[in-house]
Amino acid sequence: MYGAGDVRIEDVPDPAIHAPADAIVRVVRAAICGSDLHPYRSMPATDQGRPMGHEFLGIVEDTGAEVTGLKRGDLVLSPFTYADNTCFWCRRGLQTSCPQGGRYGFDGVDGGQGEAVRVPQASGTLVKLPVAADPASASRSSATARCWNASAACRP
């Protein structure tokens, strides 16, 4: 996104592991969340742009050396932010306050609207789904409600 109403589709290199706690996830499904609409309506114009999206469903393609509980081929969900899920704040359910966490689309982290995403703090962030999970069914959870609200908010 390059500014309010200025959304572009661009070819970019696939992400790579930058830190041992990273994973690379190939996005299968992503939605437009209501929080994506705030910058769509008000983001100041920029030459740099920033990746959009979060809350995606995908397949793990690669993991860093410190990632546990995930492996190549796992079907995973990602929440709104990434977090280590071990700190004082995460243990209290406040992952958005995690000092090791952050938001997708900022600080060199991909957005969930891309074909693939580098997920920092992958062990604490990604939720592994059962092997038999159907990506189409899994993506109909809270993202469906968010899509409906986002599309309604975009109507003139």
Question: What is the token pair recorded at 146?
Answer: 């968010």
Confidence grade of residue 8 (pLDDT, cut at 50, 70, 90): confident
Which residues are registered as beta bridge partners of 56? 30
Query: Is it the case that residue 24 has pLDDT exceeding 60?
Result: yes
pLDDT tens-place string over residues 33-77 = 777 788 888 889 989 888 777 788 999 999 999 999 999 999 999
Fold type of domain 1-125: Quinone Oxidoreductase; Chain A, domain 1 (3.90.180)
The residue among 41, 58, 52 whose CA lies nearest residue 12 is 52
Task: Confirm whether pTM is higher than 0.85.
Answer: no
pLDDT tens digits, 137-149: 555 555 544 444 4
Give the pair of three-digit tokens for residue 102. 């952050």
- Domain-wise residue ranges, the chain: 1-125
pLDDT at 127 over 70: yes
pLDDT value of position 156: 56
Angstrom distance (rounded) from CA 48 to CA 45: 9
Task: List the 116-119 sheet strands across, edge first.
Answer: 116-119, 23-30, 56-63, 75-77, 127-128
Largest CA distance in the chain: 48
